Structure 1
Amino acid sequence: MRTSTSRLGAESEQYKALKELPEPEEPIVVAVYKFKDQTGQYKDTETGSSWSTAITQGATSILLRTLEESQWFIPIEREGLNNLLNERKIIRSSRGGYETQNGDQPLIPPLLFGGILLEGGVISFDSNLMTGGAGARYFGLGSSGQYRVDRITVYLRAISTSNGRILKTVYTSKTILSQQIDVGIFRYVAFQRILEAETGFTYNEPAEMAVREAVEKAVYSLIIEGAIDGLWNFKNDSTESQSAIASYLKEKEENELTDIFGSKAQSNQSRLSVGVRANAWNYNGDYQSQLFPSVSTDVEWRFKKPFALNLAFGYGTLGSKEHYQGEIGLSELTIKKHWFPQQSSTPYFRAGLGNIVEIDNNVLNEADQLDKAHLFVIGALGYEHLFSKNLAIQAELNYRYLLDDNLDKTIHGNYNDAFWELGVGAKYYFNQRKNKQKKTREKITKPKSP
């Protein structure tokens, strides 16, 4: 590793978008007294918290630089106003001493005053918003990775200094990503000889860069919002300015359908859905297990988020390789819980009761009767991803434990018959809430009669 020479600060993608905005009709003089960290958060360490703050305390300087670089504003000094006034007093005192010798001295120009006052700050720092990782090791060779996502939130408001009215308030947020990846080996290569090696790296997104990008986005939003409301204007009402407004409005519309994790929300998802799944059944009974294919379908009704009622039907072959094989049908009723119902991707859990009906098997003779009822309990873990407005894919692993030990016609051991199921499939959500939402929207926008 080598030390590097000093360089100019790196710029973000949002800074480039800010610089590409069309010119203003006239730059606006703004005053910023304090744009500070209001989170009260301290850095987390392995032993707890330290006295170092999690967020930079120089957010005012970041905002002043962003205002200056945008070319839309003329920022004036207010954070160090006492220092500025003291320096002006020194100038007046020094000039006063020369008045008797050299005559009248020119007056100090008056200070600029801001027509708009900018207030706000970094109001939130959410640590460990999302954490995760994965790893694998085989015969002493393995690798693992971990990640953590934090988030900061910035509010910025413009206030008229003539009457104190709040003209516009904007709100932006930025995630901070931390990653760690390592690879290692630990293996006996010979008698009393061990090979051990490891390597890895970590990446921590600078919190200052995240604050700066959030502030730049806030200034960008304030400029566009103010132009839309007529608080200030572009120099030329050109295609470029209209394109900037249209692009911002499109982003704002998409943001309304996006959750805090950056995923598309499922707010337009219907309560009613149907699904189909291809499965593999693994018998766990009194004989040696074997995998058999099966199919299933289900109907689901979300009666209250995140809970749903799921009615499922399945058909397939279940049993062992040489002894019992039965062609069965099953039905089950379960309660299902989506852990993140507002996200496009969510794990889920379901549990309930069901019944197995034998259609045919290789054990009984034609004169014997098939069993019509084998009650069971089921527990399932799954994952669902909504990749379009109405269509989702899902994968599930479940375990069905029978309340009797007679499915394979053999009663043996301390446990009843059971079987595992692993399946993947698709689910379709009916779009039945559109009319209801439309009527609600019309009701809200319809003016009240006097």
Structure 2
Amino acid sequence: MKLRSYLLIPTAFLLINCGAYYNQPTGIERAIIGEPTPATNVLTGLPKPVKPVVVGVYKFRDQTGQYKASENGSNFSTAVTQGATSVLIKALEDSNWFIPIERENIGNLLQERNLIRSTREEYTQGDKPTAPQITPLLYAGVLLEGGIISYDSNIITGGFGARYFGTGGSIKYRQDRITIYLRLVSTANGQILKSVYISKTILSQAIDQSLFKYVNFKRLLEVETGYTTNEPVQMAVTEAIEKAVATLIIEGIKKDIWQANASKEALNAMIADYDQENKEANNTAIYARELKDRRTRFAMELSGGATLMDGDYPSASLQPMARGALKYLITPSLSLSASANVLKLANKGYLNAGYATLDLNAEWMLLPKDRFSPYVFAGGGFGFNKNVENTHLKVQFGAGLEYMVSDNIGIKVYGEQNVNFSDNIDYLERGVRDDYYYRFGLGLTYYFPNRK
């Protein structure tokens, strides 16, 4: 029974999380046609051109000069493929928008054409005084330049693990990022017609489970299992290049560099989708942070929580409090908040008092365009009991976190310290220090939509 319980956790873990674990190769596999990427369907699904463009690609290679990371000794294998030119030519061909011509190894092509000419001249018969002319080479109307300009390793790393009495497991992940630039150059005047920039993340994951237990006297059981998955770098490069070609085609349609053989409605729909994607990209920072102005100028807040007294009596206890506030955003980061608060303060066996306060705070949002942002605040206030007596001035300061669950609603948690200019908050004046109390809250903020 003990052995079954020890094996239950890793077995359940593998059944739930490790789909790839049960698809491990157990034999020799045959060569297959290369897999498409998510960008392949986008590229091949574009409308066809009125007339394909003859394009030349001299080189599109790795410009990072980066080698693969190695824990043991030197590694002279490059981090990304050195054959990106071939990948780009294949993407141009698949798009049906371009007629790629050979330029990467133009020397080999010219040498072979010279051999053809000399061979024809040698075998020309007397009745044919001149050898037949070889077909002239196509020339490119545009050139494609650029390359893989960045390969950033370990931009995000992390994981989780746990072990209990020799039984446990762990999950680790790592994310890299590859970046390419592609530009379109006119051979007529050398003008750069368009330049695009595409990035693609590369994910690696490792999952392992282990068991190390004495199941009986001098009987040790050891079990280890797990697997690692690494997104192929070549597939990431291919997807980025195909996305770059598709983007270049759409940008060319927008700038009237070339024309598509499609209806105006279809083109407008395609361009609208592209503009929306471009807008989202412009509002997205690294680590997939979507940046936009989420918080409008006016807002209302309701929150509740607890207070904790720090006065002259011992044994302070948590008591309820409620808060309502109106906010005005001066800038996306800075706002003013006017609030009314009701709260109770208590010490076991000594104090049980109720108060109301009117507070005015300045709040500073650290990440105003993020969905999740910390903030700090500080201000002053005026407090009084239920009989509008024992009045006192105070200052308060604190910090919190806010998460926007929608375009208009935010959830926040916060904590603050209230420093009162009175030693009579607990109705006992003792010592030289004034009475303090702390507030901890959870609330909702509603941001009123802007008028259009």
- 1:394–1:427 contact (8 Å) kept in structure 2: no
Task: Give the structure 2 partner of residue 381 of structure 1.
Answer: 400
Question: Does residue 426 of structure 1 match 2:445?
Answer: yes
* CA displacement at 1:295 relative to structure 2: 1.9
* Counterpart position of 1:400: 417
Matched AA of 2:60? F
Decide whether the 8 Å contact of 2:295 with 2:447 is kept in 1.
no
Choose the corresponding residue for 2:243, options 200, 217, 233: 217
1:46-445 alignment runs, 5 A limit: 52-99=77-124, 105-130=131-156, 145=171, 147-180=173-206, 201-237=227-263, 240-241=266-267, 243-267=269-293, 269-282=295-308, 287-288=314-315, 290-303=317-330, 306-320=333-347, 322-332=349-359, 334=361, 336-343=363-370, 345-355=371-381, 357-359=383-385, 371-373=390-392, 375=394, 377-385=396-404, 387-388=406-407, 391-400=408-417, 402=419, 407-408=425-426, 418-429=437-448, 431=450
Contact 1:332–1:352 under 8 Å retained in 2: no
Q: Could you state the TM-score of these two structures normalised by the residue count of structure 2? A: 0.75
1:27 aligns with 2:44: no
**How far off is 1:167 after superposition?**
2.4
Q: CA deviation at 1:280?
A: 3.6
The whole-number CA distance in structure 1 between the counterparts of 2:92 and 2:359 is 62
The CA deviation string for residues 198-239 of structure 1, in whole angstroms up to 9 with x for no partner, is 765554433332222222112112222222333222335376
1:265-315 deviation line (CA, Å, top 9, x unaligned): 323743444322232445567544544332223444555554545554432
Cα distance, 1:76 vs structure 2? 1.0
The answer to whether the 8 A contact 2:364-2:377 is kept is: no
CA distance in 2, matches of 1:323, 1:194: 61
Aligned amino acid, residue 270 of structure 2:
A
> TM-score scaled by structure 1?
0.75
Whether 1:12 and 2:37 are equivalent positions in the alignment is yes
Instruction: Show the counterpart of 1:442.
Output: none
Cα gap change, 1:421 to 1:228, in 2 (>3 Å): same
Residue type of the alignment partner of 2:417: R
Q: Is the 8 A contact 1:330 1:354 kept in 2?
A: no
CA change 1:106–1:53 in 2 (3 A) is same
Q: Which amino acid aligns with 2:57?
A: V
Q: Is the 8 A contact 1:329 1:359 kept in 2?
A: yes
RMSD between aligned alpha carbons? Answer: 4.3
Distance 1:332 1:142 in 2: 51
Partner of 1:441: none
When structure 1 is superposed on structure 2, of 81-90 and 63-72 the one drifting more is 81-90
> 2: distance between equivalents of 1:48 and 1:422?
54
Unaligned 5+ segments in structure 1 are 361-365, 435-450
Aligned AA (1:247): D
Q: Are the aligned partners of 1:121 and 1:155 in contact in 2 as well (CA < 8 Å)?
A: yes
The AA in structure 1 aligned to 2:345 is L
3-state SS of paired residue (2:251):
helix
| CA pair 64-373 structure 1, distance change in 2 beyond 3 A | same
Percent sequence identity is 38
1:163-187, CA deviations, whole angstroms, 9 ceiling, x for partnerless residues? 2222233333323334455667889
The aligned length equals 422
Tell me which of 58, 61, 69 is aligned to 1:36: 61
CA distance, structure 2, for counterparts of residue 305 and residue 229 of structure 1? 35
* Matched letter for residue 263 of structure 2: D
